[in-house]
Amino acid sequence: MADQNLTTKTLTATGSVNAGRTRIRSVYCGSTAGTVELKDGGSGGTSRFLLAMTAGQIINLPGSVEFSTDCYATLTTANSVMFVY
């Protein structure tokens, strides 16, 4: 397996995870449960995933999920979510 350069970003409110092409590998929910909707193309983009998460849960997405433009996350109730890409 080749080495991979991974980056993390934590959002505490709805916003952009990464403005360019991105492959999301994992999502971690902080101390408050909630939903995370991932969109491709910014806030008005195509919804790709809706994740219902419990506090402290880690979700590894199947084989990573590619977002061709702006990977945007809408957080509902969740107060801190970390993305690995």
DSSP-derived letter for residue 12 is: S
d(CA 81, CA 8): 10
pLDDT band at 3 (very low <50, low <70, confident <90, very high): low
Average pLDDT over all residues of the chain? 93
pLDDT band at 1 (very low <50, low <70, confident <90, very high): very low
- For residues 30-34, average pLDDT: 96
What strands, in cross-sheet order, belong to the sheet with 34-40?
Answer: 15-18, 71-76, 34-40, 46-53
d(CA 38, CA 48): 6
User: What size, in residues, is the chain?
Assistant: 85
Domain ranges of the chain: 8-84
